[in-house]
Structure 1
Amino acid sequence: MNYRHAFHAGNHADVLKHVVLLALCEALVAKPAACFALDTHAGRGLYRLEGEEARRTGEADAGVARLRTGVDPAVDRYLDAIAACRAANGDDAYPGSPWLLAHALRARDRIACCELQPQEAAALKANFAGDARVAVHARDGYVAIKALLPPKVDGERFARGLVLIDPPFEAQLAEFDAAFAALREGLARWPQATFALWYPIKQRRDLQPMLREAATLPAKSSLFAELLVRPDDSPLRMNGSGMLLLNPPFGIESRLSATLAALRAMLVEGGGRGDARIAWAKPRD
């Protein structure tokens, strides 16, 4: 696997993924019981937007750098988290999903992060060496779903929680085969958890088989949240991305609808056409 997220940190896909992730965390911590989060493709957890990789692509300039405060509460929560990350790690720091999970969850909650690439896994371990809540596993995140779910940490079982699956999609559409197999395994082992799968959008019509299959997953309900910053008219670039949410928290669709509209207004490229949509794959009963 050749993918390195440092080249893409803070781009429009990160913005969508991380805003949604924090919204899911907010719902989790609204209840007193401890919760567990699994990040299957964690990366290094912390990036430098002025680093060589990020500056080579400049993708953050068209992503997180365009966001404004005071537009939407979920966007403000995300920007507050970035500010907290920079206060602790320097002005060009950008938080990956493990950092955001550690920031949003509580002292009694637990987090497991999986990363297969040795250098990224080593950096991830170093970044969370002082946080006893975070366990780092240098292993395949798909395989870890079978090993780590249902979660049990130091003898404590967790009834509530979240699984984030954020693969690099180097296999392109074939990645959905592995991701959906993992989702079925995870739902069988921990059926009450929320599962979130990030996916890229080039030409949305190519995703129709995935959209149909999502409705067959053994979740009580499933929801798509998508943001396109350009028309989906080219297979050569990522024009947007989406999140498939299985067993999403009650009411999140209405909150995310306003957030996606705000993100579309801020991130659509060149005053052109983009899109933001919320749609149920399997509505609640």
Structure 2
Amino acid sequence: MNYRHSFHAGNSADVVKHSLLIALVRALQLKQSALTLIDTHAGCGLYDLDSDDAQRTGESTQGVLRAFAHPDPLLNDYCAAVRAVNVGAEPHLYPGSPQILAQLLRPQDFLILNEKHPEDVYTLRGVMRGTSAAVHQRDAYELWLAMLPPRTPRGVVVVDPPYEQLDERARITATLAAAHRKWAHGVTVIWYPLKDRTTHWRWKEQLRKLGIPKLLWVEHWLYDSDQAGIYNGAGLFIVNPPYAFTRALPPLLEALRAALVPEGHEGEVTSDWLGD
């Protein structure tokens, strides 16, 4: 499945991913010790919702625009992160994970970004100019392992590939296993698109066999049953989520479900521990 960010910026998957990423980092920042935030597939960092790519899909109308219209205050932090890169009431630009992570940095924190695509990394360096972020151009899975353990006591690795390669899930599984051996207490966030439940169930079983003790999954299924051949939603695997995050998760997931549910469907945003 090819998932290029420029076509899907601000869609429902971004709303869920970035809402949870903000909540996760904020929960970790309840402690004063420094964090290193690592984004292995950083993309461009900022996306034009009026561009030809974004307008071709129009997915932001079912994502960020729904979040902006929803009154639940649990979405305020997410909406504030989007407003920070915009002027006016409606968003015309969408911040990728690099921009959102940069907004969350405290003086003691560090941000490491990686993007392999030459055009995207050129854009990313321009977008992140003036921030403290370090930008690399390397194979994402090599960088993931090379940066572990980070120099700070704690950290988060965000893995958000476009799933262009047929072996993407296999590389994630193998690299996660190696990363966990190097940095067992670290927090890792892995984003994935959902097409059909059977294929995803098989991948879950492969990850379950890794035996990682604290591996949470969060899944947002847009439709009540699989819609053949199309994008059905997205999810996150989160290794070692902090207690403050998991405690606050249920009402946030319900707010996201209510904001993003398509007409005629109930929608579903659920979470559980892998292995339970």
TM-score range normalised by the length of the shorter chain: over 0.9
Specify the alignment match of 2:156 in structure 1: 162
Superposition pairs for residues 1-285 of structure 1, below 5 Å? 4-67=4-67, 68-73=69-74, 75-87=75-87, 91-132=91-132, 134-151=133-150, 157-171=151-165, 174-282=167-275
Q: CA–CA distance in 2 between the matches of 1:3 and 1:266?
A: 23
Query: Secondary structure of 1:163's match?
Result: strand
Q: Deviations over 1:16-56 (max 9, x none)?
A: 11111111110121111111011011101111111221112
Aligned-residue offset at 1:194: 0.6
SS of 2:263's equivalent in the other structure is helix
Instruction: Name the amino acid aligned to 1:167.
Output: P
- Partner Cα distance (2:258, 2:70) in 1: 13
Distance 2:32 2:40 in 1: 25
CA pair 269-129 structure 1, distance change in 2 beyond 3 A: same
Structure 1 unmatched ranges of 5 or more: 152-156
Please list every run of 5 or more consecutive structure 2 residues that lacks an aligned counterpart in the other structure.
none
Task: Work out whether residues 162 and 195 of structure 1, in 8 Å CA contact, stay in contact via their aligned partners in 2.
Answer: yes
Query: Any idea what SS the aligned residue of 2:86 has?
Result: helix
Over the aligned positions, Cα root-mean-square deviation in angstroms equals: 2.0
Q: Distance in 2 between matches of 1:28 and 1:218?
A: 24
State percent identity of aligned pairs. 38
Cα offset, 1:2, TM superposition: 7.2
Relative to structure 1, is the Cα distance of residues 273 and 2 closer, same or farther in structure 2, using a 3 angstrom cutoff? closer
Which fold has the larger relative contact order, with Cα–Cα distance below 8 Å and residues 6 or more apart in sequence?
2
Aligned AA (1:4): R
Q: TM-score, with normalisation over the residues of structure 1? A: 0.90
Deviations, residues 78-136 of structure 1 (Å, cap 9, x unaligned): 00111112149x9511110000100012122111111111000000111112112x111
* Inter-partner Cα distance in structure 1 for 2:4 and 2:202: 28
CA distance in 1, matches of 2:31, 2:181: 24
Aligned length: 274
Cα deviation for residue 70 of structure 1 reads 3.9
C-alpha distance in 2 between matches for 1:130 and 1:27: 26
Instruction: Give the secondary structure class of the aligned counterpart of 1:50.
Output: coil
Give, as a single letter, the amino acid of the residue that structure 2 aligns with 1:265: A
Kept in 2: contact 1:223–1:282 (CA 8 A): no
What secondary structure is seen at the aligned counterpart in 2 of 1:223? strand
| Kept in 2: contact 1:202–1:232 (CA 8 A) | no
For 2:174 and 2:199, the matched residues in 1 are separated by 19
